[in-house]
Amino acid sequence: MNIKITGTGSYIPEIIQDNSKFLDKEFYDNEGNKIETPNEEIIEKFQKITGIRERRYVKDELNNSDIAFLAAKKAIEDSKVDPETIDYIILAHNFGNASNHTTQVDIFPSLAVRVKNLLKIKNPKCVAYDILFGCPGWLEGMIQGYAFIKAGMAKKCLVIGADTLSRVVDVSDRDSMIFADGAGATIIEKSDEEGGVISHNTATYTDDEVFYLFYGKSYNPNAEQKTKYIKMRGRKVYEFALTNVPAAMKECLDIAGTNISEIKKILIHQANAKMDDAIVKRLFKLYNKDAPEKIMPLTVDRFGNSSVATVPTMFDLISKGKLPDHHIKKGDKIIFASVGAGMHINAMVYQY
């Protein structure tokens, strides 16, 4: 039995926030000290390291569940499935619905049931639930959907990754320039066609790593300290990813019985261009090979880090021929991979 992605969709927010929008910010370090380095230098260094020159933010009137619905609707239309035949809606996010100008999050009821409501699905056997799994959430949702179908518990699953991180950032923290908004969705189902999911691999590290990403107070000592924001120990995340993600990807390839030379594209979570490039190079070094050019698409430069949405959005764009210089054809083998808060790592080998 083959289990394949039969439809994709994404929502890329309309508001473009380029790096110049941060020139007038006051940045503080994690000790509450004002950073005296000119913002021009901070931004130049930031762009050189991360590759991010702009990011996307949602409009005020949209919530995370709204953009998740918009991406899901496109995936359903692309797959041509009857929404009433969907068995599971699995929605990965990290901060629920955060209304504009407040960081209070709303996950009651879950975002997945709100999406089901917006899709007007009446079937009570369509089970909708959320997962909190850091940036690897969409891919873990894919793994869960795959498991449901393989076990005979489902025939079709809708898997969504959506976040509005712009609403939970500390504007006094330089890391606020990393985060963005977006949503991506996929339909997976049983298929008579060749290909589909070949293997998957997941790991969770919770010793020293558990709080590399966390919810914490503003770095600005004059700000309201009861309000919490997304925080990151960037250097620790970088070192963790470079050590553990290539090994997890190789293990996934080994489980699949697939040689690295068979892989046509690596779709890795868009966190940081420098980090992603280093991860892919280290993966190929494990095989004593050099990474081929253009094997790793990048969208972080234009869209920023939209967490769970980065990989499904990128896959949707490539599948529909909307990402220049990157194409996937029938029969191609690719790798999905992600790393994020938890700390979680996952990977999947997939034949298109």
Kindly report, residue by residue over 159-211, the tens digit of the pLDDT.
999 999 999 999 999 999 999 999 999 999 999 889 999 999 999 999 999 99
170 by Cβ neighbours in 10 Å (0-12 / 13-18 / 19+) ranks as buried
List the domain boundaries for the chain.
2-193, 197-351
Mean model confidence pLDDT for the chain? 95
* Residues 201-254 pLDDT 10s: 999 999 999 999 999 999 999 887 788 899 999 999 999 999 999 999 999 999
Q: How many CB atoms lie within 10 A of CB 349?
A: 24
Report how far residue 181's alpha carbon sits from residue 162's, in angstroms, rounded to the nearest whole number. 8
The half-sphere exposure of 236 on its side-chain side, counting CA atoms within 13 A, is 16
Q: What is the mean pLDDT of residues 336-340?
A: 97
Report whether pLDDT(100) > 90.
no
Residue 99 confidence class, pLDDT cut points 50, 70, 90: confident
- How far is it, in rounded angstroms, from Cα 350 to Cα 352? 6
Q: What digits encode the pLDDT tens for the residues 284-312?
A: 999 999 999 999 999 999 999 999 999 99
pLDDT given at position 227: 85
Residue-level pLDDT at 101? 65
Q: Does domain 197-351 have CATH number 3.40.47.10?
A: yes
Q: 197-351: same fold as 2-193?
A: yes
Q: How far apart are the first and last CA of the chain?
A: 15
List the beta bridge partners of residue 213.
232
pLDDT beyond 70 at 85: yes
Q: Does domain 2-193 have CATH number 3.40.1160.10?
A: no
Q: Tell which residue, 260, 270, 271, has the closest CA to residue 335.
A: 260
The predicted model scores a pTM of: 0.95
Q: Positive or negative CA dihedral for 151, 205, 180, 266?
A: negative
- What percentage of residues in the chain have a pLDDT greater than 90? 93
